[in-house]
Amino acid sequence: MRFTITPTERGETLELRSDDNSIGWYLTGLDGWWGTPAPREDPEPDPMHDGDMPPESLTQGARALVLEMAARCESSVAAERLADQVCGLFGQDLVIVGEGPSGPRMLVGHLADDPKPRFAESGRLLFCAVAISCPKPSKRGREVAFRASGGSCSVVNEGNMPAWPVVRVSGRCTSLSVSYGGQAVTWSGDAEGLVIDFATGQASAGTIGSDDAFAIPPGRHALSVSSVGGGEVSVCVAAAWR
């Protein structure tokens, strides 16, 4: 399995391989990727205790991800520079992408602990454990675009939890409505190209009228789409996993 860690503000992407022992970074251990964080609430409260009531819902805390890494370097100077690079990840968002047999999945988090770099082989081999806290614990896949046609759009969420769609219009649009399961988002304006993010309720132009945004459940679903202006409408879904 291949991992990349990309800082959003400064620094270079770290590429971790797991299938060789050549010069560069490689993955030696992994924790917190395959499972799902425990609920914040007690799912089995004791009503006999004062104020102990059943939770209305179960919510998840942050995902604790640990990537155990090693880097084989040409010199001890190069190894120290890589240690500096890892420590420089602190204080910014990190995009972590793991690519396995089922494709890439992404998390966003921040450095949660000292990576504790240590050296071996006369300083040319570097070891560290990068602990990353991901406040949003769900993993996301690549965004897939589904084209609307004939007033409908068939979309697929291959994950195991609902995913917020993004509607994109290529070309002119003066009116748009997208609905599913009794919920609808409507938009009006005059735009040459349009993006509506259902997660944030924001549009790149114009005005959102009815904002009863919905997420796409796992599986295949048919959405109703109506637009005026002639632009091509696509509903984009990035699958989500617990």
pLDDT for res 20: 67
pLDDT for res 213: 92
pLDDT for res 52: 63
Q: The pTM is what?
A: 0.83
Assign 82 to helix, strand or coil.
helix
pLDDT for res 210: 74
Q: Which residue carries 């924790």 as its tokens?
A: 31
Class of domain 140-241: mainly beta
Q: Which residues of the chain have pLDDT under 70?
A: 19-21, 43, 45-56
Q: What does DSSP assign to residue 231?
A: P
pLDDT for res 53: 66
Assign 80 to helix, strand or coil.
helix
pLDDT for res 202: 93
Indicate the domain borders of the chain: 2-137, 140-241
Domain 2-137, architecture per CATH: Beta Barrel (2.40)
pLDDT for res 47: 62
Which residues are CB-neighbours of 112 under 8 A, at least 6 positions away?
64, 131, 132, 133
